[in-house]
Amino acid sequence: MTDPTTLDAHWLEIYRHLHAHPELSGVEFETARLVAEELRALPGWEVTENVGGTGVVGVLHNGPGPVIWLRADMDALPVQEETGLDYTSLTPGVMHACGHDIHVAALLGACAQLSADPLPGTFVALFQPAEETGSGAEGMLADGLLDRFPRPRIVLGQHVSPLPAGLVLCKSGTLMAAADSIRVTFNGVGGHASQPHTAIDPLLMAASLVVRLQALTARQAATAATPVLTAGALHAGTRPNIIADTAEVLLSLRTFTDSSRDRMLEAIHRIAQAEAAAANAPVDPKVEPYDHFPVTTNTPGDTERVMSTLTSAGIPVMPLTHPITGSEDFGLFATAANCPSVFWHIGGMSLTSFTESDQSYMLTEAALPPHLPSNHSPHFAPDPLQALPAAITAMVTAARAEAHPQPLR
Ligand SMILES: [Zn+2]
Ligand SMILES: [Zn+2]
């Protein structure tokens, strides 16, 4: 039997390589190649590449038993890394700032352990592209995932988070928000900066929109499941002495119900139109939603069982009382397969990153303390020495227990 210490060292090396070589959504060519190569080297795994683009699917038949799908996403983000790690990204402007490199290395590590599992069951490992753009799961499903591979009894997935390494956060029911990206384009009238009365300034409309939207979430939408609305990008103009003729604002909206989503989309539309009207814009602004993610829902019953399995295996599990405002396309697999699914967050940070007051804030608020880097930050740096073994153990423990809901002994 392979020495687990050697295995960990290998997956650690794979993690560092992935971290240093991040690839953006949909172009995870080298990542997929590496995943397929590593998976083929493990006993029993049948590997299929190019599923829905760069997706890789591994199947391990260990005899009759339930089919368990295990999912990891592979893409990185357009972020310039500032962690200063010695395995920092070698690709300028691209970084594994969401920790999907941990997911890939951990699922490979889990596959290695499942190879050696003498118990029956079928495991399907999904290495999914393009989670960040909300198109990867959809792409794999559109490429016949459900017909080409054994259908799941349950789908399991996890996400590394900026919490203490190994701590699992989970809840039954709504776990994560729906997300929409929205592009708002204002058209004005360009002109000379010295003659603003001859122009209609779209930059001012965009800036007013961003300020006015803060009031939307703070006042109108301040219900128990308050949505989150962030302006992540604002593009306008080229020079100080030119009044631009267009301005674009990119928004990220997180909601927990369809009615809240509809209301927010309508309000964004109304406020954008009102800003354009107030500025006497020559045409209405364009408000275009794109990149939609559904609400992530954990199946009641199955979720409690997975949480108790992890707890029994000595993994600390913190039950969440409220859903998380992050979003995922993970839920699409179980929706398409009409089966249960369970997703959890697992801490990836070294304990030394947290003061005592951080820890008590986290326990009370079930949220990240304000000064610590979150996913997507250029400083997001999980500690793989702690995060990787924890994520491998969580995935293997849940997968084995789900394949054998009634223990053989
Ligand atoms: Zn992300
Ligand atoms: Zn992510």
Question: What CATH number is attached to the domain comprising 218?
Answer: 3.30.70.360
Tokens of 112: 């290695």
Residues 162, 187, single domain; the answer is no
Q: Can you give the pLDDT at residue 116? A: 81
Confidence grade of residue 177 (pLDDT, cut at 50, 70, 90): very high
Chosen domain end from 293, 327, 344: 293
Q: Can you give the pLDDT at residue 2? A: 40
Residues 244, 355, single domain; the answer is no
Q: Can you give the pLDDT at residue 222? A: 66
Of all residues in the chain, what percent carry a pLDDT higher than 70? 96
Residues 139, 151, single domain; the answer is yes
Q: Can you give the pLDDT at residue 225? A: 76
Q: Can you give the pLDDT at residue 408? A: 40
| CB contact burial 23-51 (16+ within 10 A = b; e otherwise) | bbbbbbeebbebbbebbeebeebebeeeb
Q: Please report which ligand is nearest the Cα atom of 99.
A: 2
CA distance 362 to 364: 6
Q: Please report which ligand is nearest the Cα atom of 100.
A: 2
Residues 147, 199, single domain; the answer is no
The three-class DSSP label of residue 120 is coil
Does residue 232 lie in a domain region? yes
Residues 217, 318, single domain; the answer is no
Chosen domain end from 240, 271, 293: 293
CA 375 – ligand 1 centroid, Å:
6
Q: Can you give the pLDDT at residue 371? A: 80
Q: Which domain range does residue 242 map to? A: 178-293
pLDDT of 1 strictly over 60: no
Does residue 223 lie in a domain region? yes
pLDDT digits (tens, 9 = 90+) for 199-247: 999 999 999 999 999 999 888 776 667 899 999 999 999 999 999 999 9
Residues 40, 142, single domain; the answer is yes
Residues 9, 135, single domain; the answer is yes
Q: Judge contact between 56 and 32, C-beta under 8 A.
A: yes
Average pLDDT of span 326-344: 97
| Environment of ion ligand 1 (residues, CB < 5 A) | 98
Chosen domain end from 293, 317, 343: 293
Does residue 408 lie in a domain region? no
Residues 327, 382, single domain; the answer is yes
pLDDT of 173 strictly over 80: yes
Does residue 39 lie in a domain region? yes
CA 125 – ligand 1 centroid, Å:
20
Average pLDDT of span 12-36: 98
Q: Lowest mean pLDDT: which of 50-54, 169-173, 225-229, 338-342?
A: 225-229
pLDDT of 409 strictly over 50: no
DSSP-derived pairing of the beta strands 154-164 and 67-73: parallel
| Environment of ion ligand 2 (residues, CB < 5 A) | 98
Confidence grade of residue 77 (pLDDT, cut at 50, 70, 90): very high
Cα dist from 39 to 8, 21, 78, 369, 390, whole Å = 15, 19, 27, 38, 20
Confidence grade of residue 64 (pLDDT, cut at 50, 70, 90): confident
Q: Is 207 exposed, middle or buried (0-12, 13-18, 19+ CB in 10 A)?
A: middle
Does residue 96 lie in a domain region? yes
Residues 41, 165, single domain; the answer is yes
Residues 135, 36, single domain; the answer is yes
Residues 13, 133, single domain; the answer is yes
Residues 153, 198, single domain; the answer is no
| CB contact burial 320-330 (16+ within 10 A = b; e otherwise) | beebbbbbbbb
pLDDT of 119 strictly over 90: no
CA 98 – ligand 1 centroid, Å:
4
**Separation of first and last alpha carbons in the chain:** 22
The domain total for the chain is 2
Amino acid identity, position 315: I
**129: CB partners within 8 A, 6+ apart:** 25, 26, 28, 32, 52, 53, 54, 55, 73, 74, 75, 136, 139, 140
Which CATH number do you get for residue 169? Answer: 3.40.630.10
The three-class DSSP label of residue 64 is coil
User: Residue 52 CA to chain centroid, in angstroms?
Assistant: 18
